[in-house]
Amino acid sequence: MTSSIPGPADFARLRELRARHPEQLQAAYERRTRRDILRGDGRLFIVAADHPARGALAVGRNATAMADRYDLLERLAVALDRPGVDGVLGTPDILDDLAGLGLLDDKILVGSMNRGGLRGARFEMDDRYTGYDVDSMVASGIDFAKTLIRVNLDDPGTAATLEATAAAVTEAAGARLPIMLEPFMSRWADGRIVNDLTTDDVILSIAIASGLGASSAYTWMKLPVVDDMERVMASTTMPTLLLGGDSGADPDQTFAAWEDALALPGVRGLTVGRTLLYPPDGDVAAAVDIAAGLVHADLLTAR
């Protein structure tokens, strides 16, 4: 199947494949056309869709926006078909669906190792990894690994998260698999976990994450856009993708903040999910095109 928007017949074939021929999902990964991670301008624009597996289905005021898997896959298909979109970030269920639909040719696949600490749970800081591991990503030809690291200095569960992340970084380096770390300084507030997004807190999280593992050779950062990004980027030599964050802010302000941060040394692109997949006006293609143009300046020049 060529890259196009899937319809009912495509979804029927996917359901049949999952029920009768699950081995064909691995074959779909093996058949897909692969590409270098960096090419051309050396920048990356990755669409993120790892939210459902951590129980985050809400977008803005819609608490179940991402609950309809078929709607989500259609939105991802629209995004992946736009020029300048280099790849997709997802948990195994998402990437398996996209592979079964034939939508992953010439795309960078970023495998989410996911987190076990679900939002609102009493065990929220128990962030053991529950998705991909390095061996499974290598076996499926996944191009990139991604982890979330919430560092809570008041919660002993953080120690196990740091240990597990260090092991993952070491294994990824041994397999020559780039691994993207998304660190936050986090704390309990009114019974829930919040991430501290001051400039100093982001810099502290980078310092902690940077030292994890026996080698940093294949480590990338995935960082939020906060105040004084110049100081943030001065705290690391590692290639960095910007975290797009949740939708809800004024789109023009969001795009302007991304554009400013993308001009900083060390920033290699964007990883954005709900903001683009569920834009306020519903036009996924238009939102993706704006972001792609910010990452890949040649796309803006061509228009």
Q: Is 230 left (phi over 0), alpha (psi -120 to 50) or beta?
A: alpha
Q: What is the mean pLDDT of the chain?
A: 92
Is-above-0.95 flag for pTM?
Answer: no
Digit-coded pLDDT (tens) for 217-250: 999 999 999 999 999 999 999 999 999 866 555 7
- Sketch out the chain's domains with CATH numbers: 8-302 (3.20.20.70)
Measure the CA angle with vertex 173, ends 157 and 221; round to 5°.
60
154: its two tokens: 């008041």
Digit-coded pLDDT (tens) for 14-65: 999 999 999 999 999 999 999 999 999 999 999 999 999 888 888 988 999 9
Mean pLDDT across 266-294: 94
265: its two tokens: 């040394």
**For residue 284, with 0-12 CB atoms within 10 Å meaning exposed, 13-18 middle and 19 or more buried, which class applies?**
buried
Mean pLDDT across 185-191: 90
- Whether 195 has a pLDDT exceeding 90, the answer reads yes
In this prediction, residue 249 carries a pLDDT of: 59
In this prediction, residue 1 carries a pLDDT of: 39
